[in-house]
């Protein structure tokens, strides 16, 4: 599944650079860190969330299983960032090792997002915070099925979008309570979105046809959740 990110690492990093200022503003406003946190970014890719957090916290560790992305993250490193290879579903960090654990646009690329949320809760200290940002599935089952077909046709590494309700169940099951939440809806440009995933040939044509017949798949819903750990 992660080979798609190895192939498209440069594109992922270029998009990250283009969106860095906006993400930094959003994270500052939504996360409101106190400046003294040891923070973790799970599924950091080329470091998007880690670099947004870096000026706002004491230090940030970014974790990802794809070496090609970590190399691009390290090329952008700041004095208080560090990047390490690993799997968010089974992390080697001690219980309570972080004050803030975040993940940005990663849960829907992981077979077992429930394990990532459980691991984030485990490595966050009591009274610490967890930040989850991810694209959401619509609550309506038919709309969710169409979006799932589009996303998996576009990108084989896409597993499944969770609904807002499913995410809340995962949070509650791991003792995480919602402190703040936000829903973002943004149109996306089809060609750029297909390019980002390296979508080509037949599967690209099929994704284009699906989007033509269902324009709603080109409006992404992104949920932001700031959670308090027990
Ligand atoms: C869409 S990218 C998002 C990257 C970055 N967070 C960002 O916002 O640009 C999804 C990321 O999930 C990572 N990923 C996939 N499986 C993972 C796992 N089991 N544990 C941690 N990260 C994983 C991929 O390597 C990739 O970097």
DSSP state for residue 144 in the 8-state scheme: H
Is any atom of ligand 1 closer than 6 Å to the C-beta of 2? Answer: yes
Q: What pLDDT is attached to residue 4?
A: 79
Percentage of the chain exceeding pLDDT 70: 100
Q: Please calculate the CA angle 28-138-151 and round it to the nearest 5 degrees.
A: 85
Is any atom of ligand 1 closer than 6 Å to the C-beta of 62? Answer: no
Q: What pLDDT is attached to residue 78?
A: 97
pTM of the model: 0.95
Cα gap 104→211, rounded to integer Å:
24
Q: What pLDDT is attached to residue 106?
A: 97
Is any atom of ligand 1 closer than 6 Å to the C-beta of 15? Answer: no
Res. 3 pLDDT band, cuts 50 70 90: confident
What mean pLDDT, rounded, does the chain reach?
96
Is any atom of ligand 1 closer than 6 Å to the C-beta of 51? Answer: no
Determine how many CB atoms are found less than 10 A away from the CB of residue 3: 11
Does the pLDDT at position 28 exceed 70? yes
Res. 157 pLDDT band, cuts 50 70 90: confident
- List the structure tokens of 3: 């080979």
CATH number, domain 3-138+155-187+220-228: 3.40.50.150
Torsion sign over Cα 196, 224, 123, 78: positive
Mean pLDDT of all residues in 119-148: 97
Q: What pLDDT is attached to residue 112?
A: 97
Q: What pLDDT is attached to residue 230?
A: 85
Q: What pLDDT is attached to residue 9?
A: 92
Ligand 1 atom at minimal distance to the Cα of residue 89: 19
Ligand 1 atom at minimal distance to the Cα of residue 66: 25
Determine how many CB atoms are found less than 10 A away from the CB of residue 18: 9
- List the structure tokens of 52: 């947004």
Q: Please calculate the CA angle 123-183-185 and round it to the nearest 5 degrees.
A: 125
DSSP-based three-state secondary structure for 2 = coil
Whole-angstrom CA distances from 113 to 35, 107, 158, 192, 214 are 28, 5, 12, 26, 27
Ligand 1 atom at minimal distance to the Cα of residue 63: 21
| Ligand 1 binding pocket mutation candidate from 2, 106, 193 (most atoms within 8 A of CB) | 106
Q: 178-216, pLDDT tens digit by residue?
A: 999 999 999 999 999 999 999 999 999 999 999 999 999
Q: What pLDDT is attached to residue 135?
A: 96
Please give the distance, rounded to the nearest whole angstrom, from the Cα atom of residue 67 to the centre of ligand 1.
11
Is any atom of ligand 1 closer than 6 Å to the C-beta of 42? Answer: yes
Q: What pLDDT is attached to residue 83?
A: 98
Mean pLDDT of all residues in 75-94: 98
Please give the distance, rounded to the nearest whole angstrom, from the Cα atom of residue 64 to the centre of ligand 1.
6
Res. 6 pLDDT band, cuts 50 70 90: confident
Please give the distance, rounded to the nearest whole angstrom, from the Cα atom of residue 109 to the centre of ligand 1.
7
Please give the distance, rounded to the nearest whole angstrom, from the Cα atom of residue 108 to the centre of ligand 1.
9
Q: What pLDDT is attached to residue 71?
A: 96
Does the pLDDT at position 2 exceed 90? no
User: CA 132: distance to chain centroid?
Assistant: 7
Mean pLDDT of all residues in 130-143: 97
List, as one string, the DSSP characters of 61-127: EEEES-HHHHHHHHHT--TTEEEEE--TTS--SPTT-EEEEEEES-GGGSS-HHHHHHHHHHHEEEE
- List the structure tokens of 2: 């992660």
- Domain boundaries, given as residue ranges, for the chain: 3-138+155-187+220-228
Is any atom of ligand 1 closer than 6 Å to the C-beta of 84? Answer: no
Is any atom of ligand 1 closer than 6 Å to the C-beta of 157? Answer: no
Res. 1 pLDDT band, cuts 50 70 90: low
Q: What pLDDT is attached to residue 192?
A: 94
């Amino acid at each position: 599944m992660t080979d798609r990110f190895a192939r498209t690492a440069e594109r992922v990093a270029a998009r990250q650079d283009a969106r860095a200022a906006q993400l930094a503003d959003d994270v500052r406003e939504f996360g409101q860190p106190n400046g003294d946190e040891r923070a973790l970014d799970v599924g950091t890719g080329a470091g998007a969330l880690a670099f947004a957090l870096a000026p706002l916290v004491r230090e940030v560790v970014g974790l990802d299983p794809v070496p090609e992305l970590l190399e691009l993250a390290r090329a952008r490193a700041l004095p208080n960032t560090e990047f390490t290879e690993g799997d968010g579903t089974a992390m080697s960090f001690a219980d309570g090792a972080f004050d803030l654990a975040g993940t940005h646009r990663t849960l829907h690329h992981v077979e077992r997002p429930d394990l990532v949320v459980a691991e984030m809760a485990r490595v966050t200290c009591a009274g610490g915070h967890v930040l989850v940002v991810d694209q959401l599935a619509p609550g309506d089952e038919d709309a969710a099925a169409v979006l799932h077909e589009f996303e998996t046709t576009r990108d084989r590494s896409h597993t499944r979008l969770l609904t807002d309700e499913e995410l809340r169940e995962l949070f509650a099951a791991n003792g995480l309570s919602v402190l703040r939440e936000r829903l973002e809806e943004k149109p996306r440009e089809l060609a750029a979105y297909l390019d980002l995933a390296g979508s080509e040939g037949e599967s690209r044509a099929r994704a284009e046809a699906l989007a033509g017949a269902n324009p709603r798949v080109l409006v992404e819903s992104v949920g932001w959740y700031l959670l308090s750990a027990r």
